[in-house]
Structure 1
Amino acid sequence: MALIVEFEIQTPILRRTVESVSRIEIEEIYQSETGQTKFISWVYGEDLEAVPAALAADDTVGEFTLLEEPEDRRLYSVTLSARGEDHLTYPTAAEYDIGYLEITVTGATRIRARVPTREALFAYRDVCREKEISFRIKRIFDESVATGDRYGLTERQREALLIALEEGYFDVPRETTLSAIAAKLEISDQALSARLRRGQANLLRNTVRERAPTS
């Protein structure tokens, strides 16, 4: 049975930026066609006009693009710099089939992840230490007893999937559009697309793959 692990790491990635805001929530991490790592991130704070300057001064950030700007937050695409890449632990997580469920950057970087085994967790921890990134487990429990966490879904993923299902987004032909659902959730099309993909991936890991016969 897989584990749900909540842990904190002290990484310089986005650290200078978050000093100017209240928190950053990372929706998605992926690699571009050129091999650069990108974050799709919601930024929250009282002075959101100061975010571009904070990102520009952050030496773990290479480039950034504003995607959406509702009243209380901003959605940015952030490309990591070489220094940011040096401190990135996501490739290790992917290597050991560790799935990030939530990532929040404040005083520390808090991560909620689905981990297949304790051995995978310890391997990830060891890489953090090799990179001189402190690692501290906050909570760890079997996925089967995770409250409100059936199939490894976060609440935001569950909400997005349910609305998409109820509105007919998965019907053939489709009864609604990605933009219409995003408007209901008050997020961008890109953020919704990432949320749906991550939610569907979690469902597949916890249903189809968990039940796959072994040879």
Structure 2
Amino acid sequence: MTLVHGNVSIPVSLIIEYELRTPILESAGQVVRRLELEELYGTQDGTSKLLFWAFADDFDAFEDALASDGTVESHTRLESFTDRSLYGVTLTDEAAAKLTYPLAAEYNVAIIDITLTDEIVVSARVPSREALLEYRKRCLEKGVGFRVRRIYRENEAEAETETERYGLTEHQREALQTALDSGYFDVPRKATLSEIADELGISDQALSARLRRGQANLLWQTIAGETS
């Protein structure tokens, strides 16, 4: 989408909020209220470091958890306040291989915010839906789970969820997302209808109906809408 100002076309970015499922700090993150990433950078010796704020009641327990977290090579507490502390963490090589920052840079995805509570939630600016789809695909290929929560235009006053935008029920969205992630729509298919139904805990018939109705809603809201 672009806005035209005079004779100049100005592209309007998309803002996306999504969940990442990655092992990085997964164990240590369970003993804090939340983590907020400040910076990620590479050192001259090729290691990857995270700089983040930890919000916790017991920072000694958190540091014990960092010491036993398999994704952490070393850690340092840099600054402390009553409810939060700033940490620098060096990742193991295996953990660094799961980082999605290089892919984000490749597709011009600008990370705005990363927070870890029960899951890792990322807010980012993406140049287009095509770039978002390719970025998500590459994350999944790295073995990093990726689930879109919401997506909206940067100039919109309020975020509009994809479920609301395309008239999907939450069950339809969940079924379509799970089928997509599992490779059900790939050629050849990488998962069967029964396998996906088992994952969702529903019958084959219920899943088939949700997929058909969900796809119909998407088509009516996109292709059919474009011709009206």
| TM-score with structure 2 setting the length | 0.62
Q: Provide the aligned C-alpha RMSD in A.
A: 1.5
Higher Rg of the two aligned structures: 2
Poorly superposed stretches of 4+, deviation over 2 Å: none
Select 1:77's aligned residue among 81, 85, 88: 88
Distance 1:116 1:24, change over 3 A: same
Q: Deviations over 1:53-91 (max 9, x none)?
A: 111111111121111011111100111111211211111
Query: What's the CA shift for 1:9?
Result: 1.1
Distance 1:3 1:54, change over 3 A: same
Distance 1:22 1:3 in 2: 29
Query: What's the CA shift for 1:12?
Result: 0.5
1:126 corresponds to which residue?
137
Distance 1:3 1:128 in 2: 18
- 1:109 equivalent to 2:120? Answer yes
Q: Deviations over 1:69-126 (max 9, x none)?
A: 1111110011111121121111100111111111001221100001111121111111
Query: What's the CA shift for 1:31?
Result: 1.4
Distance 2:127 2:45 in 1: 30
Q: Which runs of 5+ in 2 are unaligned?
A: 1-11, 160-228
Q: Which runs of 5+ in 1 are unaligned?
A: 149-215
1:6 corresponds to which residue?
17
**Residue 127 of structure 1: SS of its match in structure 2?**
helix
**Residue 75 of structure 1: SS of its match in structure 2?**
strand
Distance 1:95 1:34 in 2: 22
- 1:22 equivalent to 2:49? Answer no
Distance 1:27 1:61 in 2: 17
| Identity of matched residues, % | 44
Select 2:69's aligned residue among 55, 58, 63: 58
Query: What's the CA shift for 1:132?
Result: 2.1
1:207 corresponds to which residue?
none
| TM-score with structure 1 setting the length | 0.66
Is residue 9–residue 110 contact of structure 1 (8 Å, CA) maintained in 2?
A: yes
The number of aligned residues is 148
**Residue 27 of structure 2: SS of its match in structure 1?**
helix
1:7 partner letter: Y
2:49 corresponds to which residue?
38
